[in-house]
Amino acid sequence: MGLLALLGLPSSLIILEVVPFLILAVGADNIFIFVQEYQGYGMYGIRGYGIWDIWEYGIWDVGYGDMGYGDMG
């Protein structure tokens, strides 16, 4: 809020109360999506791959939807 006051912009406590909650909520939701995808790859028998390869495949599958581009094709 000090930076906004220095620039002469109006602000409220809602900015300080809501924005951090949204950032944490979105991050917590995303990690559950990634872990679910990782566990799915483990159950379907992708053996012989390293953990980073499995994470890469998981992020490739859910990353676009996670970034909000899921409806783009």
The string of pLDDT tens digits covering residues 14-68 is 777 888 888 788 777 777 877 777 777 665 556 677 777 777 777 777 766 555 5
Helices of type H across the chain: 2-7, 13-43, 51-66
Whether 4 is covered by a domain: the verdict is: no
Whether 22 is covered by a domain: the verdict is: yes
Whether 56 is covered by a domain: the verdict is: yes
Q: pTM for the complete prediction? A: 0.46
Q: 45 φ, ψ to 5°? A: 85, 35
Tally of structural domains, the chain: 1
Question: Do 12 and 28 form a contact (C-beta atoms < 8 A)?
Answer: no
Whether 33 is covered by a domain: the verdict is: yes
Whether 72 is covered by a domain: the verdict is: no
Whether 5 is covered by a domain: the verdict is: no
Burial of residue 44 (CB within 10 Å: 0-12, 13-18, 19+) is: exposed
Whether 30 is covered by a domain: the verdict is: yes
Which residue range forms the structural domain that includes residue 53? 13-66
